[in-house]
Chains A and B, each alone.
Chain A
Amino acid sequence: MTIVACSLMLIGILIYVFYPERHVESQTQKTRLEYLRERKEVLYDNLRDLNFEYRAGKYVEEDYAAQQGILETEAAEVVAEIDLLEAQPR
């Protein structure tokens, strides 16, 4: 009984591991464009957070304006680079 159970488990697992699979997921390295899109999302999130906290009355006008300016500049740079990369022929 023990031998049967051990054999069944061994055969079952070996078939599962080495059964020839036609489709396997490719392992691609993330591109600069993908990275920039992620970065853009983060910056937009940061801007939304800032706007929300300002509307909630947490920041004074000067602080808000300064933060918004920095984030918008950063986001604009990222968007510009995305546009440049998307315009390039693949």
Chain B
Amino acid sequence: MPTFGSFSLLLALALSGYTLLAGAVALRQLATGARARVTPEKLAETARRAGIGSFVATTAAAFALVWAAFNNDFSVAYILHHSNRALPGPYKFAALWSGQEGSLLLWAWLLAAYGFVLRLRHKVDVKLTAYASTILAGIQVFFLLLLNFAAMPFSLVGGTVPQDGFGLNPLLQYPEMVIHPPMLYLGYVGFAVPFAFALGALMMRYPGEKWIHITRRWTMVTWLFLTCGIFLGAHWAYSVLGWGGYWGWDPVENASLMPWLTGTAFLHSVMMQEKRGMMKTWNVWLIFSTFMLAIFGTLLTRSGLVSSVHAFAQSSIGSWFWAFLIIVLSVCLFTFILQRDHLKADNKLESLVSRESSFLFNNLVLLAACFTVLWGTLFPVLSEYVQGNRVTVGAPFYNRVAVPIGLFLLFLTGIGPLLAWRSSSFKSIRKNFVLPCIAGLVAAVVVIVCGVHPWEIFTTDGQGSFYAFFAFVLAAMVVTAISAEFLRGAGVISRHTGQGLLASMVQLTRRNTRRYGGYIVHFGVVVIFIGIAGSAFNQSKEQELGFKESLNIGPYRLECQSYSQDSNANYDTEFALLDVYRGGKKITQLAPEKRFYIASQQPSTMVANHSTLAWDLYVIYAGKNPDTGQPIIKVFLNPLVAWIWIGVAIIVFGTGVALFPNMTAALAASRNRVQSAAVADALPARGGD
């Protein structure tokens, strides 16, 4: 199998190289009209098929590595270092992305898979797809060069092959770890597709904005994967790292957040290009930056440039990534300089009070957030260069900057849809803002009555209360604005068709899935903000708990029923059994544990969590008192955390709705009747955009 895997990787490299070269030659011939023995169309077709062939070869290589893991083939150094006989099946599968070489193979395989789909769907726009396919092949060549010459997953162990492997990092032996990295990679890699289309469209001076329409679903799917990857990672950190939080501003977490921020900005600003032919240069650079940040994120994870909890994948391949980044930036810059006249805007910003300007502000704020994260991530490296000692940047820096930025974004999420394209008059603004403002005022009163006092910022160190107050108020305003959008639209449909309000809302959404799916995503974002605001009121307590001793936190009482130890083939464990009471009534039993993995000789925390909509009771087995032999239990009471995961589920649903095609049959029939723009007014309502 290792030989088969190595051969497959070499074949994949040869095929991707051919796709790149033959594709580039064919496009050049088509552009210049040069005559050749083989027609450019036929040459381009072989390039397309070679791209599909490289997917088959890369799949074979990935299969060979998984096969080696499941068959305990410890002659393969990668399997020796990332697996062992007692490792459960799903984690053996996850071994594919648990180390440097395997995760790069996953990158290459996902890129090949995206390329495979793109090349199969080439009839959407044959020429544009040919450009995108060639660019994707260029990216694929880089990863396959790495896999063949710098980070070889099928390297063999020298000398005697050990009977058992060194095991998988315990931090990775958690269910989310089986899906978190592939999701994140699907996001990272996926941005290569809109990047390739954007660069291709610029190279060929693609007339119009249809390339955005072609790549819209790619971008949304990619964004969704990255979103899920980020939040699965947050959930993993919450459940495994055992420090009571879900986001620690770790450099590798930041690395995934940066392309997400620019990708989110791109998703919004392309609407301006589609609808009004504006911000073309901005959009091109946004998607270029997003792709480069995805590569930069991979560089951060791989190179050991910054210290991180994700240190399990460090190595010296950073120079390869730097070289690749420089090449990508050079190609982008060169193409932009050559074709910049093609990116002239069709329209200008007419008013600062318009939907365009709200998109622009949204973009600026997202980019400011991205720059803050980038600065904070790189500051330790930069300070080391300048001062000679590494100055780390902690959570307080990020929170001080990112929280106000996040709140301003939440504000823009609410007001954007209420503004008209081009410009909004004061009368329109007054008309649309009354309800959200009333909702905000009511929320402010309710929140103050509930004990959240923003003025505490002046008397104590109450920044948390201050920001949480504004988060709750803005959340109420945005939810009202979104609801008003649905109700207004449904009202029109209801008047038109006589349907009930709920049925009208469903029809409204089906008529313009992108817009109303987007609103559902915004609603999910609001729910996440509410969940994050809860962190201002976290409580924690640490105590040694003997048999029948108890600990009180918030409304809960935890009583220790027993503490013991156990072992199996994979790990030894120490745990405590704690009965949880609320109002004198037992509601559940929790069993926090500390594991010690035998093969890797590393410890790991298994958090016990009782989650409700109001708060999480988060319990850690912090260790054992060596004098008494009794467990030390640390408990956190984290309000509203469940809202974060619910918000993510809503975002997934909303994006799914937005990906669904519009109900267009009736619309298409109507379009046939259209003779001129003047009669457009007579068309059935669609639901806006």
Pick from B41, B46, B122, B681: contact of A68, CB under 8 Å: B681
Identify the interface centre among A27, A35, A51, A59: most chain B CB within 10 Å of its CB. A27
Residues on the B chain within 8 Å of A43, using CB: 677
Contact between B206 and A30, CB atoms less than 8 A apart: yes
What is the bound-complex CA distance between A28 and B130, given in angstroms? 11
Name the prevailing secondary structure of the B interface residues. helix
Give chain B interface residues in 402-450, CB to chain A under 8 Å: 418, 420-425, 427-428, 431-432
**Interface residue from A13, A60, A79 paired with B428 (Cβ < 8 Å):** A60
Q: Mark B285-298, 1 if CB is under 8 A from A, else 0.
A: 00000000000000
- Is B104 part of the contact surface with A, judged by Cβ < 8 Å? no
Residue B680 lies at the interface, judged by CB distance under 8 Å to chain A: yes
Which of B47-55, B137-145, B467-475 lies at the interface? B47-55
Q: Mark B184-223, 1 if CB is under 8 A from A, else 0.
A: 0000000000000000000010111110000000000000
A51 B685 Cβ-Cβ under 8 A: yes
Binary interface encoding of chain B residues 37-50 relative to chain A, with 1 for a CB under 8 A from any of its CBs, else 0: 00111101110011
Question: B26 to nearest A CB, angstroms?
Answer: 8
A46 contact from B56, B421, B428, B685, Cβ within 8 A: B421
Contact pick for B45, options A21, A39, A44, CB 8 Å:
A21
- Chain B neighbourhood of A49, CB < 8 A: 686, 688-689
> Do B681 and A47 have beta carbons less than 8 Å apart?
yes
- Say whether B50 contacts A17, CB under 8 Å: yes
Residues in A with CB closer than 8 Å to B686 are 45, 48-49, 52
A85 interface residue per 8 A CB criterion: no
Decide: B207 and A30 in contact? CB cutoff 8 A: yes
List B contacts of A27 (CB < 8 A): 30, 40-41, 44, 126-127, 130
Instruction: Contact check, B425 vs A25: say whether CB atoms are below 8 A apart.
Output: no
The residue on A at minimum CB distance from B495 is A55
Residue of B nearest to A49 (CB): B688
Alpha-carbon distance between A47 and B686 when the two chains are bound, in angstroms: 10
**Given A9-B60, A24-B41, A25-B126 in contact, is the A44-B677 Cβ separation under 8 Å?**
yes
Q: Let me know if A52 and B685 touch, CB within 8 A.
A: yes
Per the 8 Å Cβ criterion, residues 470-491 of B in contact with A are 488-489, 491
Any chain A CB within 8 A of the CB of B123?
yes
A62 CB–B CB distance under 8 Å:
yes
The number of residue pairs between A and B whose CB atoms lie closer than 8 Å in the complex comes to 157
Distance to closest chain B CB from A62 (angstroms): 6
Shortest CB-to-CB span from B638 to chain A, Å, is: 40
Q: How large is the interface on A (under 10, 10 to 19, 20 to 34, 35 or more residues)?
A: 35 or more
Chain B residues in 8 Å Cβ range of A62 = 425, 427
The residue that A72 contacts in the complex, of B425, B674, B678, with Cβ under 8 A, is B678
Once the chains bind, are B41 and A10 in contact (CB under 8 Å)? no
Give the CA-CA distance A53 to B688 in the complex, in Å: 6
- Which residue of chain A has its CB nearest to the CB of B276? A46
15 pairs from A and B in contact (CB 8 Å cutoff): A2-B3, A6-B8, A17-B15, A17-B49, A27-B41, A46-B275, A53-B420, A58-B488, A60-B427, A60-B431, A63-B420, A63-B424, A67-B422, A74-B677, A76-B677
Kindly state whether residue A88 has any CB partner on chain B within 8 Å: no
- The distance from the CB of B599 to the nearest CB of chain A, in whole angstroms, is 29
How far, in whole Å, are A63 and B207 apart by their CA atoms in the complex?
A: 31
Chain A: which residue is nearest B206 at the CB level?
A: A30
Contact with B along A12-30 (1 / 0, CB 8 A): 0100111001001111111
Q: Is B313 close to A, CB under 8 A?
A: no
Would A29 and B431 count as touching, CB distance under 8 A? no
Cβ A44 vs Cβ B488 within 8 A: no
B23 to chain A, nearest CB (A): 11
Given the contacts A30-B207, A48-B685, A53-B688, A6 and B7 also touching, CB distance less than 8 Å = yes
Q: What 7 A-B pairs are tightest by C-beta distance, nearest first?
A: A75-B677, A56-B488, A47-B680, A13-B53, A27-B127, A49-B688, A52-B685
Given A13-B57, A48-B686, A63-B424: A24 in contact with B677 (beta carbons within 8 A): no
